[in-house]
Each structure stands twice: as C-alpha cells, then as structure tokens.
Amino acid sequence: MKFDSDVLVIGSGIAGLSYALKAARFGTVHVVTKNRQDEGATRYAQGGIASVFSKSDSFASHINDTEVAGAGLCHRNIVELTVQEGPARVQELVDLGVAFDKDTTSGEYDLTIEGGHEHRRVFHSRDFTGEAIETALVAAVSKHPNIRLFENHAAVDLLTNVRPQKLRRSDGMRCQGAYVLNSTSGAIHVFSARVTVLATGGAGKVYLYTSNPDVATGDGIAMAYRAGARVANLEFMQFHPTCMYHPRAKSFLISEALRGEGGELIDASGAAFMQKYHSMGSCAPRDIVARAIDSEIKRQGADCVYLDITPKRSGHTAAALKERFPNIYAKCREYGIDLTTEPIPVVPAAHYMCGGVLTDEHGESTIENLFAIGETACTGLHGANRLASNSLLEGAVFAHRAALRTEERLRRMKPKLDLKIYEALPDWDSGKAVPMEERINIAHTWRELRTTMWNYVGIVRTNRRLEKARTRLDYISHEVQEYYWSYLLNPELIELRNLVTVADLIVRCALARKESRGLHANLDTPYLDDTYFKRDTIV
C-alpha cells in the first residue's frame, strides 16, 4: 500500500510538529510516529527553552555562552542565526497557547538560569515545559486539514533514487520517502514524498542508563547513514549530571533548573565539591559537572552523589520550591524523598546526542530533499557540548528554516514528472523471512549492546575500552543482521538494528578523535589538540 504526500515527517516532537504546521500551509503532510503522537523527549523536557528576552541580556552573551560550552567546535554562523531567531520562535509558541511562567508581581516572564548561562534567559512552564509545548503543538496539528498523523508507525528505511556507494558519497542522491511498518497490522507500506524530514530525536537508549524515553533509539541517524547521508560528531554524547538514583526510578531527570535556583551538589558527608572542578560550581557546563560527579563517585567508592535544594541551602521557602518544581517534588515524594527537607540522590545518565545527521543552515542533509531537524541533526550549534535549554530552541528554529527551504523546493519541482517517479517506487519485499516466535534474543542482545556501551564508551574513555567495544559490537551487529534477514520485522527489531548502527558510529567517531574535548574525554589523550582536531568528525 502506498501513501503519497508532498512532505513526510518522521517524528512528532517540537521539531517535527513545528515543521509540519508550517509545511501544511503550502502542501500535504504525513507525520509518522512509532508510538503515541505526544511520546518523545520533548514531552519530558523539564527545564525550558533558552532565548534572549531580558534587557540585561544580549545576543552576544547567549552566543558566547553557547560557544564556550561547545568547546571550540560550534559553527559561529549557526550559533548566531539560532540565537537571533530564537525570540520569534518563542513568540510563535506563545501564540500557539504555551503559557510560560510569569512573575505574579511584575507580570514579566519568570526567566530562570541554568548551567553555563551568564544571564536568566530560560523560559519555562514550572517543570512541565516540554509537556506544555508538546500539548500545544499536538492540539494545533490535530486540527489542521492538511496534516495526517500515523501513530504506531515505525519507519524502517529511507527510499532514494540510487543505492549508497561503498565510499558513502551522497552526491546526486535524492530522498523519495520511506518504508514504514504499521506496528498494529505488521504491514510495511511505502510513504512517498517530495521532501522527507527526520525528526526522530536522539539515541540515549544505546546506553544502559539514560534520561531518555524508550523511543530514543537513534532511528533517524541510522536510517540516514544507511541511505548514504553524512553524519558527524557522534562521539559527543551528553551525559546529564543529575538523574534520580533509586531502584524504582526509571530514568527520571532532575532538571538543571534546580541548580540554577541554588541547588548544590554534595557528597554523602554533606560537603559541596563542584567548586574544586570549576569556578561556576554546581552551575558549570554539563560535561564538567558529569565528569566531576563520575570522579567523586569513583574516588569515594559511592553509589551516587546528592543534590541539595533544601531551603537552608537554596534560600527558597518550601512552598516556593513546591510551586516552582511540582513535577519533581511529586516524583521525589513518590520514592520517599522530600526535596524540601533532604537532598536528592543523583547519578549521571546518557541524555543528549550533540552529533547527528550533518545538515546545512536550512536543515538539509547531504542527500537532496532529506532534512534532519532537532536532536537527530548535527547543525553545528552545539559543537562538543550542548548548552542547557538550547535543544528546544534549536528544534523550533530549524523547523522554521527547513519549512522555508521546503516551500522553495516544492515550487521548483515538476509535479507531473514527480508523480511518475513516485508511482514506480517498489513495494517492500520480505523475501523468505518468517515470523519471530520468541523475542528473548532481541531483549538479550539489546541488554548486551547497552551494557557494552555504558562500560566501554561512557563518560570517561580509553583507547583500550573503545577497541573492546568495537570488537564486541562487530559480533552483535552480525547477530542483528541475521535477525533482520531471517524474521519479519517488528518494532523491537527495527529499534535494535538502529541502535547497533548508532553504537558503531559512536565508537568510530570516538576512535577518530585523538584528543579530549567537550563531552569526549579520553584518558589516553587528555589534552586539547586544536591543530588537528578543531573540526567536526564526519563519517
């Protein structure tokens, strides 16, 4: 079965849905998402969206903060355009109905500050910011007559006009849509489109411990790479410093905003330790904080450290803390922790992929008519480490820029000629694949993959660990290929295949960078080497 549209969007977070709303003004849009329409990293974003608003702030300051966090690898032009276009994109969210918090006295936006920021510039909706944004976008998309949403549909692979070559040159390639699995019926359909947009989020589930939701399996990055697109900087996986440490708390993030509001990282004895690692203390950039926590845990032989936001430490009343962080307060109470009277146990966990599908300033990949936006993309904004709350900003800005470029592209295309091309797209061929009777092998392989990545390609790396990971991943990849060709596809197998691809790319990028920079820390090459490695790692 074929589904034809002007634009195919794969993913339904802030980037995908923002883009869909804009593209629907001039074309038909199909949005496919492998789970519910509101399930993804956007929904769980607690902190907020960074953008210059206060008179005491400036574009120059936001640009500088972004570049400092990025450790010399940010693309200056991308940083400038993202920061400068930010206020307009935030206003669009407000116009959609996102109610960012305001000061009850002045009526002005209640901007907060997070690690690495010089000024208060983070818009938030208490600690439900992502949910507020996602809710507004879903409501707008569901009412638009030009948008058709396909829930529980998992993209398998991209359709292009030529097969990728061994040298991975994507010159002359054009994307024409994707094969998509209907997870309910098991059928695989052709979704043809003149423009295809990858907005599938990150790949945190490649690691054993992550703040990401279960859907974060690197699908867009893996599909783009298999199709022949260039990817870059996958060695830079950001580990969020503070995820709740509790046997029943699955990947619950403790927002950086708590540290912005006076929370302090302490050890089991109550001693604050961040000042000895960075002058900004607990509000230092995430890579520094994550490594510091990792170092303290290893040095003391501890299971975790603690985040103290109690009134005595932060200066806020218990009532104010409950009002500002209702979600985090409720979740902590669920696990027997009262953040107003005791510190929260925390550990680092894989959080955000700073690399991804290599794109230009409009979000277009090295394959024509294939765009990547949001965490799936490597735009050059984040460099070697993302500044807090720049992720939602990037998603909104590049959704807009990609939509503008899409409108220009569709105007130039010849609809009648395109129709013949897309009608000729081949149906999915399952060959001799048979139904999978048991899924225990997938679960076992998934666990082995994630454990390998956590143990050998984590916060601090060595060449020996990376080589061990590469050897083990080669074996796992062979297993997964056997599953792929032997069995009919299901969502779990699709995700496992994508995770193996992304894991391999992370290791290859990490081995290629012979220095330590930003989120990539290698004990064998602990120095910064601007002469040879002040550049993107492109594969």
| 449 vs 236: CA distance, rounded Å | 18
Tell me which residue has tokens 């307060």: 329
CA atoms within 13 A on the CB side of 286: 34
3-state secondary structure of 48: coil
By DSSP bridging, strand 356-358 and strand 377-378 are parallel
3-state secondary structure of 323: helix
| 40 vs 50: CA distance, rounded Å | 20
Q: Locate 363 and state its tokens.
A: 């979000």
User: What is the phi/psi pair of residue 7, to 5°?
Assistant: -135, 135
| 85 vs 443: CA distance, rounded Å | 43
Does residue 370 come out as left (phi exceeding 0), alpha (psi in the -120 to 50 range) or beta? beta
Beta bridge partners of 306: 266, 345
| 179 vs 522: CA distance, rounded Å | 39
Distances (CA, A) of 340 to 46, 47, 101, 318, 324: 19, 19, 21, 5, 12
**Helix 390-412 vs helix 14-23: angle between axes, to the nearest 10 degrees?**
30
| 377 vs 360: CA distance, rounded Å | 10
Q: Are 208 and 504 in contact (CB under 8 A)?
A: no
Q: Are 508 and 233 in contact (CB under 8 A)?
A: no
Which of 194, 286, 401, 465 is flagged as catalytic? 286
461 is catalytic: no
Q: List the catalytic residues.
A: 286
